[in-house]
Amino acid sequence: MIPVIDKDVCDGCKDCVEACPPEVISMVDGKAVIDESLCEECGECVDECPSGAITLPRK
């Protein structure tokens, strides 16, 4: 599943950008954005987000 970013919680630290193996997370207006068409659904960004802004959707 593709991770979801809560823009209200994202503090723009860029930890997810650095952690993303396929490098599909970028910063737009100081908030993380995932290119869903290229995301490999590895979950590395979820584990690295210190603010808890990135989560995996429930099934």
- Domain positions in the chain are 4-55
Task: Look at residue 42 in the predicted model and tell me its pLDDT.
Answer: 95
Strands 25-28 and 31-34: antiparallel
Give me the tens of pLDDT residue by residue for the chain, a chain 59 residues long: 999 999 999 999 999 999 999 999 999 999 999 999 999 999 999 999 999 999 999 87
Q: Is the sign of the CA dihedral 49, 5, 45, 29 positive or negative? A: negative
- Could you give the dihedral angle defined by the CA atoms of residues 22, 24, 37 and 51, in that order, rounded to the nearest 10 degrees? 110
Cut 0.85: pTM above it: yes
CATH architecture of the domain 4-55 equals: 2-Layer Sandwich (3.30)
